[in-house]
Amino acid sequence: MTKKAPLPTAAAAVESDSERPVVALISAHIDMSFMRGPIAKAMPEADIRLWPKDDVTQADVALCWRPPHDVLGEMKRLRLVHGIGAGVDNILSLPDLPDVPVCRVVDPNHARGIVEYASWATLFFHRDFDVFQRNRLKRAWVQPRQRRAANVTVGIMGWGNLGRAVGSALKALGYTVRAWARTAHEEEGIEFFAGDGERAAFLEGTNILIALLPLTAGTNGILNADLFAGLPKGAAVVNIGRGELVNEPDLLASLDAGHLRGAVLDVFVQEPLPEDNPLWVNPRVFVTPHIASMADPDVIASQFVENIRRAFAGEAVINEVDRTRGY
């Protein structure tokens, strides 16, 4: 019996290319050094450099979160740009983005974190925890009637892998779930609405709106005065997509006018949310600091290293985003 040779590891495949990949970790907003260990573990031969401390001009690949505007364009050997999360809008918006594949991370545990956050936010409004939070400050003992979950319609905007995971979890909790996306979809037990033509009908019946859209030219500011006016009075808004999906002054105006009941927001136009932003203090807004879900560093590293191996081997990368579509 012949003994099978073990499958080459990603690292071995690059080594056989007799190249030592130079990996740049780049962010203008966060300390990317947390990725050093996981990448070194997955690819011990990688030469890992941290911008701005190290020289990254000779980098072959870059792992980024909100990179600055003038760094990637200087990397003449660059073969791959990788994000650390589900959304890569923060990379695609670069004016000097080189013409190389851009990849995102697709982590099943990432969807789990989003599902937990969306379930909590849905329960927060459905079971009136927002009201109790305000009543507590007034020492007001008020018992509202309990509503059945089936009588609450949650509308999800965005039907990617995260939207889909949230939809099935909320359905399992008994909610009535509908979804709106650019294109048509089908899934048992979920009512779908597609494109601009069906948006008004989608909004009309939504009690809790969950935004999980990618940020593109078409979705920037999509949650604006018009959209809020299309929701029934007393509807709530949850944003776990990107801050720029929401027109923040329009949201505040709709809350203050008493049309919207409340908002749970994890992402903001400007992050960290500036101290003087009125969202912090509005009694109808619950602010969390972009924590809904973060991809696991080991999963980021394994997908990144797999893509380094593929890029060096001239193979198609995984989880590449369509640059014109934006996700």
Minimum distance between the CB of residue 85 and ligand GLV, rounded to whole angstroms?
2
Nearer to ligand GLV, 111 or 222 (CB): 111
> From the CB of residue 4, how many other CB atoms can be counted at a distance below 10 Å?
6
Nearer to ligand GLV, 68 or 85 (CB): 85
Minimum distance between the CB of residue 91 and ligand GLV, rounded to whole angstroms?
10
- Residue facing ligand GLV at closest CB distance: 85
Minimum distance between the CB of residue 37 and ligand GLV, rounded to whole angstroms?
20
What amino acid occupies position 161?
N
Instruction: State the burial class of residue 136 (Cβ atoms within 10 Å of its Cβ: 0-12, 13-18, 19+).
Output: exposed
Minimum distance between the CB of residue 230 and ligand GLV, rounded to whole angstroms?
26
Minimum distance between the CB of residue 83 and ligand GLV, rounded to whole angstroms?
7
Minimum distance between the CB of residue 232 and ligand GLV, rounded to whole angstroms?
29
Distance CA 225, CA 249 (A): 9
Distance CA 93, CA 218 (A): 14
At 94, is the secondary structure helix, strand, or coil? coil
CA-based diameter of the chain, in Å? 79
Nearer to ligand GLV, 86 or 231 (CB): 86
Q: Which helix (H) or strand (E) holds 103?
A: strand 102-103
Closest CA to 196 of 224, 218, 220: 218
Q: Which helix (H) or strand (E) holds 170?
A: helix 161-172
Residue among 242, 261, 284, 309 flagged as catalytic = 242
Nearer to ligand GLV, 85 or 205 (CB): 85
Pairing outcome for strands 285-287 and 262-265: parallel
Q: Is 290 a catalytic site residue?
A: yes
> From the CB of residue 139, how many other CB atoms can be counted at a distance below 10 Å?
6
What amino acid occupies position 16?
S
Binding site for ligand GLV (CB under 6 A): 85-87, 295
> From the CB of residue 324, how many other CB atoms can be counted at a distance below 10 Å?
7
Q: Is 29 a catalytic site residue?
A: no
Distance CA 257, CA 271 (A): 26
Angle formed at CA 184 by CA 179 and CA 187, multiple of 5 degrees? 60
What amino acid occupies position 43?
M
- Beta-bridge mates of residue 65: 27
Active site residues: 242, 290
